Amino acid sequence: MSRIALLLLFVSLAAGCTGRTTRQRRAEAMPIATVPLPPVDRPDYALGCPDLLEVRFADHPAWDALASVDVDGTLHLGSAGRPRVEGHKLDGARDAIAEEARVEPSRVRVLLVDPSAKFVTVHGPEANRQQMLVYRGPERAVELLQRTGALKPGCTDPRDVSVVRPNVAKGSPPELFHIDFDAIFLDGDERTNIPLQPGDQIYVGETRRSSFGRLLPNWLMPAYRKLFKVRM
């Protein structure tokens, strides 16, 4: 009964889902034009979660992106890799990014856009992307996921949605919160529907059916989607 009820809920949400499984915890960064913020002139600043960086590649403009430092200290840059930049200054971050992307450091430009940026980051299966959403103030996790269309029918797995709270500003260990959709929607128990804070990272899992569907050849995909009602 719980799965059926959740599937009915998801039908009312935004459709469409493409990308790779979030169990790999990999996500592409945002296109630069999506967050038009000026760089901050702090060359001696030591980078950490959730600082926002602008990265440009002279020879690979398709890799140019805005990306926030993740809770594990890495920077998700899609095709350019996932270099560790935590603790580095901008020059050190540039060298780490260049080494990961296998390009010359002189061909990489790194700018600090917003130290300790007030963003909430959503990692999900859709297009293998990392969505950085400006923090608007107190908002519960499920409401944000619904508002941003991060839950996809037939693609996102409601049993695998979690919030990671880095607690960088507090100097405390990171916290992990599991979102219990059954309790929230079937029992009216909102205890796991936590209010979000700046820097929170939301991880949305992918169903096995959706993950398996992407392994099929292109000519078989239309029939598979129609048969199992998977939006990809």
Residues 57 and 85 in one domain: yes
Residues 223 and 133 in one domain: yes
- The pLDDT, as a whole number, for residue 133 is 79
Q: Taking all residues of the chain, what is their mean pLDDT, rounded to a whole number?
A: 76
Residues 56 and 92 in one domain: yes
Residues 138 and 109 in one domain: no
Whether the predicted model's global pTM rises above the 0.95 cut: no
Residues 138 and 86 in one domain: no
- Region 75-84: mean pLDDT is 92
pLDDT digits (tens, 9 = 90+) for 81-112: 999 999 999 999 999 999 999 999 999 999 99
What is the number of domains present in the chain?
Answer: 2
Least confident of 53-67, 71-85, 146-160, 169-183: 146-160
Residues 14 and 39 in one domain: no
- The pLDDT, as a whole number, for residue 131 is 78
Residues 143 and 223 in one domain: yes
Could you write out the DSSP letters of every residue in the chain?
-HHHHHHHHHHTS-----S--GGG---BPBPGGGS--PPP--TTPPP-TT-EEEEEETT-GGG-EEEEBPTTSBB--GGG---B-TT--HHHHHHHHHHHHTS-GGGEEEEEEETT--EEEEE-SGGGBEEEEE--SS-BHHHHHHHHT---TTTEEEEEEEEEE--TTTT---EEEE--HHHHHHS---TTSPBP-TT-EEEEEE-HHHHHHTTS-GGGHHHHHHHHT---
CATH number of the domain that 197 lies in? 3.10.560.10
- The pLDDT, as a whole number, for residue 147 is 87
Residues 102 and 57 in one domain: yes
Q: Which of 80, 114, 148 is the last residue of a domain?
A: 114
Name the residue range of residue 15's domain.
2-24+124-228
Q: Which of 114, 142, 169 is the last residue of a domain?
A: 114
CATH number of the domain that 60 lies in? 3.30.1950
229 sits in the region (left: phi over 0; alpha: psi -120 to 50; else beta) called left
- The pLDDT, as a whole number, for residue 59 is 96
Residues 129 and 219 in one domain: yes
- Region 111-134: mean pLDDT is 75
Q: How many CB atoms lie within 10 A of CB 17?
A: 23
Residue 119, domain member (yes or no): no
Q: Which of 114, 147, 178 is the last residue of a domain?
A: 114
Most confident of 25-39, 42-56, 185-199: 185-199
Residues 11 and 79 in one domain: no
Percent of the chain with pLDDT over 90: 34
pLDDT digits (tens, 9 = 90+) for 1-48: 444 444 344 434 433 444 433 333 333 455 554 445 566 777 778 898
pLDDT digits (tens, 9 = 90+) for 213-229: 454 455 544 654 555 45
Residue 70, domain member (yes or no): yes
Residues 70 and 97 in one domain: yes
Residues 172 and 145 in one domain: yes
